[in-house]
Amino acid sequence: METRRTLLVDAFTTESCAGNAAGVVPDAAGLDDGQRQAIAAELGASETAFLTDSADADRRIRYFTPTQEVDLCGHATVASHAQLFADGVIDAGTHTLETNVGVLDIEVTDEGVVWMTQDAPTVRPVEVDYDRLGDALGIDPAALTDVGADLDTAYASTGLPFLVVPVNFLEHLGDADPDMAAVEAISEEYDVAGIYAFTFDALESDSTLHGRMWAPAAGVPEDPVTGTASGACGAYLRESGAFDEFPEEMRFEQGHFVDRPGHVRVRVDGTEVRVGGEATTTLEGELAVPPADEDGIIEA
């Protein structure tokens, strides 16, 4: 049976079993969509990245959750390039990456920090029923309306759209108990991948905010640390005028309430949004691939 080198790489952290785990298949040439989907389901990571050659960039990447393909994934991009750098496949510098949303620039520093330039941002406020939204998230609606007087709930995208929801205090965000069916219904109604809720009431003094993200429609009930949502939130904060003087770099913490803490570095300069972080490999091996003409379960 055909096998492929496959890894689990924890992104936005330097510690194993923290941050957000991404599956990485460094050489996915010849795998069809069914095989890729089966590999992603077997690994069980929120996203698995499949790398191939590209005619338009240094390489091509596609991302699969356990249930479907998604157009963009920040943590799997960081994980992939951190692994390529560790393997000596790429050097420090800027590399181009072909995604379903276009060709993006990826910078790797000498220290192994991966910076991903995301797609041009789209941000627009949306009208929401705070009672319905609070019930869906399992958060007291008053915790949403309190901050909503100054910061709107909004649709925000830098390649993958999210509903960005400000919450007043960490206590309320940490105690969230989402109704996944209701979250999925709201996500579909607003045509977003998921809901990213955040509060400026962070755990750590050097963090800008604390975020949580739920995307049950994509097969991800709660994502530990989300690069694309962090980029979208960064663009949202710039568009919303959240700061008197916009910071050169922000630090978003996430994952602490699912025991996988991580941190995303976010930079917004005009219409350019970049997210950055480190990654560490936690598992590596050869994975048996099912035949292309069969719907089989991958054998461990």
Single-letter amino acid, residue 36 = R
Contact 185, 128 (CB under 8 A): no
The Cα 296–Cα 40 span in angstroms is 13
Strand duo 209-215 + 250-254: pairing: parallel
**Residue 252 exposed, middle or buried by CB count within 10 Å (0-12, 13-18, 19+):** buried
Residue 133: CB atoms within 10 A of its CB come to 22
- Positions annotated as catalytic residues are 47
Contact 157, 122 (CB under 8 A): yes
- In the chain, what is the greatest distance between 2 CA atoms, to the nearest angstrom? 60
The Cα 110–Cα 96 span in angstroms is 17
**Helix (H, G, I), strand (E, B), or coil: what is residue 155?**
strand
